[in-house]
Amino acid sequence: MRTAPSSYLVNKTHLKQKALTLRIPQHVHDALNATRERADSAGFVFDIQAVVVEALERAVAKVTGELAGVEQGEPLEVKAVALRRKRRAVKVVEDLKSVV
């Protein structure tokens, strides 16, 4: 059986796949597809479930710890989160006075 150094790559015959639906930014979708294609050509499946489950477990543990601190009266440091928005391409046109 072929193995890979990362737990996120498993043999195709070793993984039961199920559908997962969630909204993600386009650049993440593109990167996932590219990674899946590379894994497929190497004879593996990119196990996104393992990635998501591990990330969610870390997030839940972090938030659980923060809530325990808040419940004991410790101040919670809240950081502002900036949302990434893709910049729209803007086409520069001639000055309107010269067109009219």
Higher pLDDT, 44 or 96: 44
- Whether 30 maps to a domain, the answer reads yes
What is the residue range of 35's domain?
9-99
Q: Which residues contact 44 (CB under 8 A, 6 or more apart)?
A: 2, 4, 9, 10, 11, 12
- Whether 4 maps to a domain, the answer reads no
CA distance 38 to 49: 17
- Whether 2 maps to a domain, the answer reads no
pLDDT tens for each residue of 4-54: 455 666 666 655 655 657 788 999 999 999 999 999 999 998 888 788 888
Q: Which amino acid is residue 70, in one-letter code?
A: V
Look at the chain and report how many structural domains it folds into.
Answer: 1
pLDDT of residue 47: 83
- Whether 18 maps to a domain, the answer reads yes
pLDDT of residue 31: 94
pLDDT tens for each residue of 46-81: 888 788 888 888 988 999 999 999 899 988 887 766
User: Phi-psi region for residue 73, left (φ > 0), alpha (ψ -120 to 50) or beta?
Assistant: left
- Whether 53 maps to a domain, the answer reads yes
The answer to whether the predicted template modeling score (pTM) of the entire model surpasses 0.85 is no
